[in-house]
């Protein structure tokens, strides 16, 4: 059974603690990726062990191209997670239509948040 989206979002947000809060944006991909599927992070393919929801923490949203960021891979059934430090956002691929904003730091200008992504209001 898949965990509620709010619970998964809380796991992603917990990975964000200690990061550069006022200057960061945290996103959640609303899709649940099935076990065995492949994703790509920093041009490296990664096979998912269980059904997974992906969180993305943009630590430098005002930067273009490669910059500090983090992915949080959350098991959609157990809430177990692992973090992957990276340099490229998922926006370079076609996943941005399923991303929602969980958190936007106070010092992040609106233009630095993906325009096609609607902020979560709950």
Helix H or strand E encompassing 53: strand 52-58
Residue 81 has pLDDT above 80, yes or no: yes
Instruction: Note the pLDDT of residue 121.
Output: 40
List, in sequence order, every residue forming a beta bridge with 53; answer none if it has no partner: 74
pLDDT tens by residue, 33-62:
999 999 999 989 999 999 999 999 999 988
Specify the pTM. 0.85
CB 103 within 8 Å of CB 26: yes
**Mean pLDDT computed over every residue of the chain:** 85
């Amino acid at each position: 059974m898949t965990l509620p989206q709010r619970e998964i979002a809380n796991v992603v947000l917990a990975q964000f603690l200690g990061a550069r809060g006022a200057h960061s944006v945290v996103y959640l991909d609303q899709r649940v990726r099935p076990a065995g599927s492949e994703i790509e992070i920093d041009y490296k393919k990664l096979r998912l062990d269980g059904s997974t929801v992906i969180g993305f923490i943009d630590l430098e949203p005002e930067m273009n191209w490669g910059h500090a960021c983090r992915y949080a891979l959350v098991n959609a059934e157990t809430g177990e997670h692992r973090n992957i430090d990276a340099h490229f956002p998922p926006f370079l691929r076609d996943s941005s239509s399923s991303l929602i904003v969980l958190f936007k730091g106070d010092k992040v200008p609106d233009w630095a948040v993906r325009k096609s992504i609607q902020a979560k209001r709950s």
